[in-house]
Amino acid sequence: MNRPLLFLDVDGPLNPYAAQPERRPDGYVTLRVPRSGTGRDDWDLTSRRRPLRVWLNPQHGRSLLQLGFELCWATTWMDDANRWIAPVLGLPELPFVDLGDVLLRERPDGVHWKTAALVDYAGGRPFAWVDDEQSEPDRTYVSAHHPGPGLLHHVNPRTGLRDHDFRTLADFAGSPAGQGTLRDGPQAGRSTPNS
């Protein structure tokens, strides 16, 4: 049986970019990534000024690997996450959702630009998605278009992943929903907001 997928966003869940700029969170290290090294400078004309500051907690890699998911990048970093983010976290090279065709394209229905691509990639498999930009239209879209269980888990970009986030993900991965054995229909679109 396949493990459920865990779609990982970098900026927000792993890199708490919205934390106070002068205070690196405890347990985090600072990574300086040249903007040209991320493959993202096409959409940010101001990016050539200074390297991108990324805060990462090296303990998160081990915690993610212990959750029981098949990990997959779901981020604007795409494959560059394997170059810059994975080594700091101690993660192996991971597959990634190629978001090139939809990258940052706003939808008129309010659904996040990643959502449809993640549902397509999952192909009906149970999945959890950690991100800081999900909303009710995303939950509605997943419920309508994904035949399997799904957990949309919002992570506060000021704090990044915390212990309670890992517990929520572990609970989903170990549940009948996460194992794809629900008999009463999918629970797609469930979410757990962080306060």
**153 bridge partner residues:** 130
Q: What is the mean pLDDT of residues 127-154?
A: 95
Q: What are the structure tokens assigned to 195, written together?
A: 């306060």
Q: What is the mean pLDDT of residues 127-143?
A: 95
Query: What is the Cα Rg of the chain in Å?
Result: 16
Q: Which of 112, 105, 86 is nearest to 191 (CA)?
A: 112
CB-CB contact of 74 with 7 (8 Å): yes
At a CB cut-off of 8 Å and minimum separation 6, what does 95 contact?
A: 72, 73
**39 bridge partner residues:** none
Q: Is the pLDDT of residue 17 over 70?
A: yes
Q: Is the pLDDT of residue 160 over 50?
A: yes
Domains of the chain (ranges plus CATH)? 5-18+57-191 (3.40.50)
**33 bridge partner residues:** 52
pLDDT at residue 48, as a whole number: 53
Q: What are the structure tokens assigned to 180, written together?
A: 């794809």
Predicted model pTM:
0.85
How many other C-beta atoms are found inside a 10 Å radius of the C-beta of residue 95?
A: 13
Q: Give the pairing of strands 52-56 and 150-154.
A: unpaired
